[in-house]
Structure 1
Amino acid sequence: MDKLKIVYWPLKKFSEYENNPRKNDHAVDQMAQAIDGMGFKVPVIAKSSGLIVDGHLRFKAAKKLGLKNIPVIIADDLTETQIKAFRIMINQSAHWADWDMEKLSLEVEELKTEDFDLDLLGFDENFFQVSTDEFFDVPDAPPASGDSDSGDREPRRTDEGYSAFELVMLHENKLRLIEVINEIKNDLSITATEDALMVLVDRYVSQEEIH
């Protein structure tokens, strides 16, 4: 395998692939913010003609920032078929692995203590918030005992802890809550997140301390 060689090209040398299947104009500002904060650490991959193989978003962000030159890896060793496949594969590869939420939460917590700008991580603002919709089979709180439809259905096991769980959500930091849920699943050999949540709700209702 040949060693990679990184060179620097002026932005005017690059040309975008007109059939790029990625829609990224909405993400240019975010990428520009990341590059401004961290530097241009991931080279663009391009043909010697200047045609971009991978890195359209980084290229657009560089233009927005007014950069003069950016790093590039030349991919003349790839056939046209390989290049077409590589464009798809390199973007899709981000979905091949999953986050370990417990470890990710700890890493993010450490960044928070260092006052790091978490916006640079690129997560949606709700990513770390544990939603009740994710774990419960009812989207809204169960009807009060006086509601006319309260006797029209069989009570579900998730109903009994719904209000208590909402209190847990207020009591606990969202990231810590994920960690506690994972601890319960590991300690009690529980596989279903809903079951672990019910244990957590029971602890809260019985006033067990959640550290």
Structure 2
Amino acid sequence: MNEEMKIQVVSIDSITPYPDNPRNNDDAVEPTAESIKQFGWQQPIVVDKNNVVIAGHTRLKAAEKLGLETVPIVVADLSDEQARAYRLADNKTGEMAYWDDKLLDQELSKITDIDMNLVGFNLDDIEPELPQDFFEENPDSESDSDTKNYLEWGSNKVLLSQNDIKILDDQFKKFNDGGENGSFVTFLVDK
């Protein structure tokens, strides 16, 4: 194991993509370029002793797209077989991870000044979590029947009055008639 990683900044022209890279990363180049623009270089490209990319093909393509002249690299002290194995393992282990949607939503809701769509998140697909007391039953409202109406939200059930249902129906009609983009829940929360 390396005791200390030595990051070098080198000419982008001195780096060679691995010609047999089995990973098609073209769809990730634009979001990666945006990430580099927004946050700078936070991960160097890993290369072998001949400056052939082991890990970081997408970052290299993003740097080329941005017209950068230099890139940060780390030269890995690996055998040819180890470099091949690490190249594959680096990509495969990323596929094995998954998102905890609730925590992801919480984190994304705390990011207000950065457009996360630009770095690959489709925020139209993410519904904000409503607080437990989003709908409060009006104790003065009269129910037409003894039937209880619940709005199910994930594992939550929220009791709705007839008045709540009317308000939701009216808001949904406004949402549809207004040709709103995004989700209905986002439309409600933004009101």
TM range (shorter): 0.5 to 0.7
Q: Which amino acid aligns with 1:117?
A: D
Structure 1 position 21, deviation (Å): 1.1
- The aligned counterpart of 1:82 is 82
- The aligned counterpart of 1:29 is 30
Percent identical pairs in the alignment equals 30
Structure 2: gaps spanning 5 or more residues = 133-151, 166-188
Quickly say closer, same or farther: Cα 1:127–1:89, change in 2 above 3 A: farther
In the alignment, is the contact (CA less than 8 A) between 2:31 and 2:120 conserved in 1?
Answer: yes
Quickly say closer, same or farther: Cα 1:126–1:85, change in 2 above 3 A: farther
Query: Residues of 2 paired with 1:30 and 1:41: CA distance?
Result: 15
TM-score, length-scaled by structure 1: 0.60
Q: Which amino acid aligns with 2:117?
A: D
Quickly say closer, same or farther: Cα 1:205–1:85, change in 2 above 3 A: farther
The CA RMSD over aligned residues, in Å, is 2.6
Quickly say closer, same or farther: Cα 1:198–1:71, change in 2 above 3 A: closer
Alignment of 1:13-162 (within 5 A): 13-75=14-76, 77-112=77-112, 115-128=113-126
In the alignment, is the contact (CA less than 8 A) between 2:15 and 2:53 conserved in 1?
Answer: yes
Q: Deviations over 1:142-173 (max 9, x none)?
A: xxxxxxxxxxxxxxxxxxxxxxxxxxxxxxxx
Quickly say closer, same or farther: Cα 1:127–1:20, change in 2 above 3 A: farther
The structure where helix makes up a greater share of residues is: 1
Quickly say closer, same or farther: Cα 1:16–1:8, change in 2 above 3 A: same
Q: Secondary structure at the match of 1:61?
A: helix
Quickly say closer, same or farther: Cα 1:18–1:27, change in 2 above 3 A: same
In the alignment, is the contact (CA less than 8 A) between 2:32 and 2:119 conserved in 1?
Answer: no
Quickly say closer, same or farther: Cα 1:35–1:106, change in 2 above 3 A: same
- The aligned counterpart of 2:11 is 10
Q: Secondary structure at the match of 1:203?
A: strand
Query: Residues of 1 paired with 2:31 and 2:156: CA distance?
Result: 39
Q: Deviations over 1:87-138 (max 9, x none)?
A: 11111222333322222211111102xx22112442234542xxxxxxxxxx
- The aligned counterpart of 1:176 is 129
Query: Residues of 1 paired with 2:155 and 2:106: CA distance?
Result: 23
Quickly say closer, same or farther: Cα 1:196–1:50, change in 2 above 3 A: same
The structure where strand makes up a greater share of residues is: 2
Query: Residues of 1 paired with 2:156 and 2:66: CA distance?
Result: 50
